[in-house]
Chains A and B, each alone.
Chain A
């Protein structure tokens, strides 16, 4: 009898010791945006600032092996359903754009959202061997923190080459283009020319998206001698890597993340803004139009 009680007690102890398995308590799966079983691709909304009005929306696709899909022949036909709506109220056809060929690319398109709240994207993935329907949800805010298209960019006295003995004091770019450090943001906005302002940190952000952003803009800059270019390190270089403190320009421009690229026209008004990545073709097209 005692033996039975002892075994029962042991069984209870073992069972309770095993009760916090990694798949239950320690690893808590979320169902948010969970893929539909059997779907070929998983959509990821790659824009963090989506606001009421017209947006440049970026969507990435991940395949069943969790690898990014790179397929220029594939088009996304997206229908957007607003909060409380049964039917889509806006649509967008999104094309694939290489940011770094053949490594990095996303589907980019204009999308209009009339109200804030949680929206649903119903995405038809067609072409390039794909024929799938997938969906995801995302948040639309009433307004963003970065300057809106048409707004004047905040004039900030960012450091220039004339303020330092060596460019390494104001840039982490290992091969800096002096042209990007001749003017402060404030000077570039008042110069009466279009300007491209790049917030990026090549050294402290060396991912496939972040690191090459400045390189992409530098490449494009060679075709536009009449445009001013300004590179701003988002973190205070006197404090990194111990402290990642944003510089005043980051706060003034309301950046939620990095990198960002802004294009302003000859009046200093924002003509385009790109979060995360910008395709050379997009930047070239906009600069030609100014």
Chain B
């Protein structure tokens, strides 16, 4: 009985440990340079933008239901000036969506 409880307890610890780190589905931070912008046409209308973080690039989609503190019309200034951005992003349907955007 003691042994069984120990094994089950160990299992729970392992599962919780595996879930608590970077492997969770919560928002993640990406910090890098804006290297591409897919415009929606109008002022500050951005469909997605690509952030280069080291050797990797991430296409991040803009959520039309989110009001960002960061003016999206300003993204191009970051691209032109090679000024990094900090993006909190979460995965939905296999795509990254920005939850928050800011200067890095």
Chain A residues with a Cβ under 8 A of chain B: 3, 6-7, 9-10, 13-14, 17-22, 25-35, 42, 44-46, 48, 58, 60, 62, 66-68, 104, 106, 145, 204-205, 207-210, 234-235, 241, 244, 246, 250-251, 255-259, 275-277
Contacts and interface: CB of A to CB of B under 8 A. Distances in A.
A230 to B, nearest CB: 18
Interface of B: 4, 7, 10-11, 14-15, 18-19, 22-25, 28, 30, 32-33, 35-37, 39, 41-45, 50, 52-59, 69, 71, 73-84, 89-91, 94-96, 103
Given A13-B11, A28-B96, A48-B37, A34 B80 contact: no
A49 to B, nearest CB: 9
A21 B7 contact: no
Contacts of B19: 17
A26 B45 contact: no
Dominant secondary structure at the A interface:
loop
B28 A257 contact: no
A256 B45 contact: yes
Contacts of B56: 27, 29
B57 A30 contact: yes
6 contacts: A26-B91, A32-B50, A58-B80, A244-B71, A244-B73, A257-B39
Contact of A28 (B54, B74, B91): B91
